[in-house]
Amino acid sequence: MQNVEQVKNFYQQHFYFEVSEETKDQWVVLKAGNGEIAFHKAGISFKENDLISVGSNNNVKLVFETDSDLHQLREALIQNNVAMKEVISFGNSPRLFCDGSDIEGNVFQIVQVIF
């Protein structure tokens, strides 16, 4: 994580997460539904070793569930210049999935349970 403030603003603007704890430019905890998600600046050992470039070789995906219509939510995100892939489903799964990227290239997925 390079810019905690930008990532915080991204998730507040597009997902309406509220700050529950923050150390300016270092650490932020956002309330995400019934849980929380924390973002923090990379430590010195990470910076010195440069093991992972921002947005590449990252195998973490943040997954959020929504009650909203996923197609409409995707379109609203695209209108706000958020990079989004197509809505997909898998076989008989009662869920729709859509991946996107945040401001630092971290992948997130939005899931909608359909009945």
H or E element that contains 12: helix 4-15
What is the rounded average pLDDT of the residues 29-45?
Answer: 80
Assess whether pLDDT exceeds 60 at residue 109: yes
Report, as an integer, the average pLDDT of 65-87. Answer: 96
What does the pLDDT read at residue 20? 93
Domain count, the chain: 1
CATH value at residue 49: 3.10.180.10
User: Quick check: 58 pLDDT over 80?
Assistant: no
C-alpha dihedral sign at 49, 53, 58, 60: positive
Helical ranges in 16-98 per DSSP H? 44-49, 70-79
pLDDT digits (tens, 9 = 90+) for 6-24: 999 999 999 999 999 898 8
Alpha-carbon gap, residue 33 to 66, rounded angstroms: 9
Distance separating alpha carbons of residues 32 and 18, to the nearest angstrom: 8
3-state secondary structure of 39: strand
